[in-house]
Amino acid sequence: MKCFLKLVSILVLIACTPLSIASPIAEDTLYELVVLSGVKSQVESLSGAVLAGMTSRGETSSEKVSIVEESLNSNSMLERLTSNFGKSLTQSEAMELISWYSSNFGARVARAEESGSTGDAQVEMQKMAQQLLSDPARLKKIKEMEKVGSLVDNAIDLQITLALSAATVVHQQKNPNKPLNLDILKNITTSQVNGMRSNIEMSIIISLLYTFRDFNIEELDKYIDTLNTPVMMKFNESMNSGMNIAFNEAIRTIAASFKRD
């Protein structure tokens, strides 16, 4: 579950502790992992999905499109993600993940998540929303899947982080000599985003229902069990923190550029 979302502080405690030092992950291993897991494909589709959203709102100026494409450059985002994986995972953990994603079931999950992350999929799942929500048994399993990954909480954390980042950039450009009260801004932003919690939760549930619409109940249980394993939890946490960093940098660039218009 690549959900993209919580900033992580890395504390390195070495002295006086009997911890083994993990061997660094080889670059070709990292590349194989991001390809097999579908991360590479999903990151490459991000810019297109955002641009599709802009177009649907009538924001089609070539300058803005260019800014978004540049800010959400897939190579830069992948570089940040793989760097984060390299810091978080050991070589043996990476190989364990590669082995799972190389299996028939793991590959099927990855392809489903790739397909569900495209701009076209976002449009299609909204059209199918009522149909997707009509099966109580599947809905129960999907909600269980969401809780395993804390997807709603992570999405809200990301929304708050990005909103604060964008607001800070805008304030600095409009009032360069006036200090910004971050505590007040954070309280306002947190309240506003939490007010959208039910909508965010529904969007995530519909997205999961659509992504895994071809998986039966037993297969959903199987994937939920996998998500609960230590190595997969570590992988997803690393993905979340890496995407948070990458999106935060991108939104600051976009906000600064749009403000100059």
pLDDT one-digit tens code per residue, 90-125: 999 999 999 999 999 999 999 999 999 888 898 999
133 belongs to a structural domain: yes
Residue 78 pLDDT exceeds 70: yes
20 belongs to a structural domain: no
14 belongs to a structural domain: no
45 belongs to a structural domain: yes
13 belongs to a structural domain: no
In the structure, what pLDDT confidence band is assigned to residue 202 with cuts at 50, 70 and 90?
A: very high
Q: In angstroms, rounded to a whole number, what is the distance separating the alpha carbons of residues 125 and 105?
A: 23
Q: In angstroms, rounded to a whole number, what is the distance separating the alpha carbons of residues 21 and 23?
A: 6
* Domain housing 53: 27-259
- Structural domain total, the chain: 1
Most confident of the following: 7-11, 119-123, 159-163: 119-123
Residue 74 pLDDT exceeds 50: yes
User: What are the backbone dihedrals phi and psi of residue 229, each rounded to the nearest 5 degrees, phi first?
Assistant: -75, 145
36 belongs to a structural domain: yes
169 belongs to a structural domain: yes
